[in-house]
């Protein structure tokens, strides 16, 4: 069914709201992919034009050391409850990056990122845990402090946290139209982001499996995100594929060559050697079409010769091996008889009680008798 853009997005978004974000994550993603395929890329109704953030996406974790559970045993003394709070506190800046414009929040964010990078560098993933080739889907990570040691040893968890930090850095340093004016970074802060970004890429490269390949993919994705941000800043102009200048030049040259063609000549130049040779094989196209070599319809007796021999009483061929049992042979036989031997169809009308195969066999035997009679073979 054809639906309008507004009603289509409304139905899709309404269905997503009815689904559970933690249970139906994969299904919600498929709905969004379907909407992305149905509507054009330049469709504005599905865009976050004003760069608004989902402030309701709160990450709950234990902030009180009195109610804390005992973390799992680890060889590193740095993986403590304090680091647990530091690790999950960064999620608040992912939820609302604009609060970093406050100097106190910037300082806290800077210390938090530095601590995460330091722990991830010192507590390196050695690849001891088996890595599955199956894709993993996580709507939200569990935030229990008991899982902290396992989580920082998990490649997927490390990559999620570090890629989120890279995305935050790109927003802070990028040119976003609706970003608050007060969120302007000084040169020292820009320098810190550049150094920290290189450090994060280094940690990701050391994270198995295929760390270097994963880094290249992330760089490519973030580069494309910059282009999308620029497109939104320009008011989302219509996207259209620009014509290839080289192809346009070839088409112009082709038009010029056709216009300059000498129509008085018997030979035509089609600007392609193969087509030109094929076209000029015969100057007269009508004569070429009427050439006897182009007549592929066989003679009636030659076509049925093998079948006539099979139907002879002394041929010794069993009925199941007759050519008349083949559907394709029957179809070709009827087409040939319709074109060259129309009177034989009257024989079929006189024997309506017989099957098509039996009628065809009778006609073939009749053709054989007439051929022998005409050539004095009886």
Spatial neighbors of 297 by CB under 8 A, at least 6 apart, are 336, 339, 340
Q: Which residues of the chain have pLDDT under 70?
A: 1-10, 45-46, 66-77, 125-139, 240-267, 341-342, 344-352, 377-378
pLDDT tens per residue, range 148-190: 988 988 899 999 999 999 999 999 998 888 888 888 889 999 9
Q: What does R_g of the chain's alpha carbons equal in angstroms?
A: 39
pLDDT tens per residue, range 281-302: 777 777 777 777 777 778 888 8
Per-residue confidence (pLDDT) for residue 128, from 0 to 100: 46
- Name the residue among 365, 367, 357 with its Cα closest to residue 325: 357
- Backbone φ and ψ for 373, nearest 5 degrees, come out as -70, -40
Per-residue confidence (pLDDT) for residue 2, from 0 to 100: 41
- The DSSP secondary-structure symbol of 312 reads S
How many angstroms separate the CA atoms of 170 and 193, rounded? 9
Q: Let me know how many helices (H) and strands (E) the chain has, helices first.
A: 16, 0
Per-residue confidence (pLDDT) for residue 162, from 0 to 100: 95
* Start-to-end Cα distance in the chain: 71
How many angstroms separate the CA atoms of 177 and 363, rounded? 85
Per-residue confidence (pLDDT) for residue 119, from 0 to 100: 92
Per-residue confidence (pLDDT) for residue 341, from 0 to 100: 67
- Could you tell me if 155 and 208 are in contact, meaning their C-beta atoms sit under 8 angstroms apart? yes
How many angstroms separate the CA atoms of 90 and 110, rounded? 10
Task: Note every long-range contact of 191-200, with CB atoms under 8 Å and residues 24 or more positions apart, other chains counting.
Answer: 192/110, 193/169, 196/113, 196/114, 196/117, 196/165, 196/169, 197/166, 197/169, 199/117, 199/121, 200/117, 200/162, 200/165, 200/166
Cα–Cα distances (Å) from 290 to 245, 293, 339, in that order, read 44, 8, 18
């Amino acid at each position: 069914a054809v639906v309008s853009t507004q009603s289509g997005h409304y139905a899709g978004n309404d269905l997503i709201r009815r689904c559970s974000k933690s249970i139906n994550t994969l299904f919600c993603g498929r709905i969004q992919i379907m909407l992305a395929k149905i509507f054009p890329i330049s469709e504005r109704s599905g865009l976050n034009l004003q760069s608004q953030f989902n402030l309701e996406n709160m990450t709950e974790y234990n902030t009180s050391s009195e109610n804390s559970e005992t973390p799992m045993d680890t060889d590193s003394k740095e993986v403590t409850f304090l680091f647990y709070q530091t690790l999950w506190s960064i999620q608040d800046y992912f939820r609302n990056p604009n609060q970093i414009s406050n100097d106190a929040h910037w300082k806290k964010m800077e210390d938090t990122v530095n601590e995460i990078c330091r722990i991830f560098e010192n507590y390196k993933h050695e690849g001891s845990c088996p890595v599955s080739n199956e894709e993993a889907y996580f709507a939200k990570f569990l935030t229990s402090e008991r899982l902290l040691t396992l989580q920082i040893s998990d490649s997927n968890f490390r990559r999620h946290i570090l890629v989120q930090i890279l995305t935050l850095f790109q927003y802070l340093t990028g040119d976003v139209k609706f970003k608050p004016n007060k969120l302007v970074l000084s040169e020292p802060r820009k320098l810190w982001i550049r150094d920290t970004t290189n450090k994060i890429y280094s940690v990701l490269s050391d994270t198995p499996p295929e760390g270097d390949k994963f880094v290249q993919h992330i760089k490519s994705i973030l580069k494309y995100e910059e282009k999308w941000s620029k497109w939104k800043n320009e008011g989302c102009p219509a996207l259209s594929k620009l014509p290839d200048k080289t192809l346009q030049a070839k088409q112009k040259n082709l038009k010029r060559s056709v216009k300059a063609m000498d129509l008085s000549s018997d030979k035509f130049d089609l600007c392609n050697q193969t087509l030109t040779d094929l076209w000029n094989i015969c100057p007269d196209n009508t004569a070429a079409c009427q050439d006897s070599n182009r007549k592929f319809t066989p003679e009636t007796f030659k076509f049925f010769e093998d079948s006539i021999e099979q139907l002879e009483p002394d041929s010794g061929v069993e009925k199941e091996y007759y050519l008349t049992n083949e559907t394709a042979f029957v179809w070709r036989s009827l087409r040939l008889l319709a074109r060259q031997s129309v009177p034989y169809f009257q024989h079929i009308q006189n024997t309506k009680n017989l099957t098509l195969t039996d009628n065809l066999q009778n006609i073939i035997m009749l053709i054989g008798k007439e051929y022998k009679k005409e050539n004095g073979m009886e």
